[in-house]
Amino acid sequence: MEQLRALASRIRTARTVTVMTGAGVSAASGVPTFRGPEGLWRSFRPEDLATPEAFERDPALVWEWYGWRRAKVASCRPNAAHDVLARWSRDDLKQVRIVTQNVDDLHLRAGTRELIRLHGSLWEVKCFNGCAVGARAWRDDRVPLPHPVPRCPHCGGPARPAVVWFGESLDESDVDRASDAASCELFLTVGTSAVVYPAAGFVRLARSRGAFTAEINLEPTPASSQVSLSILGAAEEVLPAIDQLLASV
Ligand code: BV8
């Protein structure tokens, strides 16, 4: 409880707060995490399927995996962790920015303002060949999608999920916005194993710019030794508890 009070008082006094989230924030909604036991699909690790090479090899298999994840997320709802962060992001007295690695858009469904999505969205699609018009992602919420491999409506080539695959660079404007957000008084990382880069590098960047850094995670991570305060716990319990403390004074 002492740690929660310490973090709550830091949040209370900070004018600029940035929260970086990972799959752990959506776990309580029923969305499988990446490295948790339920992260495996069939026998594939995410890193095996979330690559341009895997799509080249077998686009139908990759789309089957993304179809499975879309159906799963469509049956889920934002949880208390998403709701608290969404409310903080709408607080006009404080600049709270949410940066996420998640592609499930549950932060958006919870009403988060100005969400910075580092790795794209399961609900957006773009042209695999990157044709002139199709390179710009479009939204497609249909579950299931009508074809095993959707086509680009502009060039007729295969369409792909508009997510950032391993070995692909992130969108420059998202990285710039996330870097700006790392200039803050308090940087909080929640529900991430902190192993995927460049996302895992932002806590160190924030610290190097003088931010007080903190972590909320079910288990220790490589970030635990980098932050000033590491709280072991479930996001859907710890965030509402901190929110209560903030409201109580
Ligand atoms: C790139 C979209 C330029 C797709 C994703 C430097 C060092 C080492 C490697 C690299 C490096 N730089 C680049 C690399 C390569 C690579 C990388 O980082 N590899 C890792 C595996 C070592 N990075 C890239 O390829 C990036 N691109 O760098 O481009 C370049 C290119 C080539 C070479 C050099 C440079 C692109 C990375 C983005 C990939 N796309 N997602 C899709 O979703 O299909 S990443 C994906 O995995 C997620 O978006 C997320 O980022 C990551 C999963 O991590 P988490 O979200 O943290 O989830 P995880 O399951 O791991 O952990 C959950 C945690 O929550 C656990 O700790 C658990 O205990 C906790 N938890 C569970 N329940 C709860 C909880 N906590 C609280 N409450 C709970 N209830």
List the residue whose alpha carbon is closest to atom 71 of ligand 1.
24
pLDDT of residue 40: 60
- Pick the atom of ligand 1 nearest to 50's CA: 44
**pLDDT of amino acid 39:** 61
Structure tokens at 187: 């940087």
Distance 24 CA to ligand 1 centre (A): 12
* pLDDT at res. 202: 98
Ligand 1 mean position to 46 CA, how many Å? Answer: 10
Q: Would you say the CB of residue 87 lies under 6 angstroms from ligand 1?
A: no
Say if ligand 1 is within 6 A of residue 235 CB: yes
- For ligand 1, the distance from its centroid to the CA atom of residue 9, given in whole angstroms, is 30
Which entry of 82, 107, 119, 154 is annotated as an active-site residue? 119
Nearest CA to ligand 1 atom 31: 167
Active site includes 82?
no
**Whether residue 2 has its Cβ less than 6 Å from ligand 1:** no
Q: How confident is the model at residue 182 (pLDDT cuts 50, 70, 90)?
A: very high
pLDDT at 20 over 80: yes
Counting from 1 in the atom list of ligand 1, the atom nearest the Cα of 194 is: 57
Give pLDDT tens digits for 73-131: 999 999 999 999 999 999 988 999 999 999 999 999 999 999 999 999 999 999 999 99
For the Cβ of 218 lying below 6 angstroms from any atom of ligand 1, the answer is yes
Ligand 1 pocket residue status of 189, Cβ below 6 Å: no
pLDDT given for residue 93 in this prediction: 85
- Pick 20 or 43 by higher pLDDT: 20
Q: 249 versus 226: which is more confidently predicted? A: 226
- Residue with the smallest CA separation from ligand 1 atom 50 is 101
83 CA distance to ligand 1 middle (Å) = 23
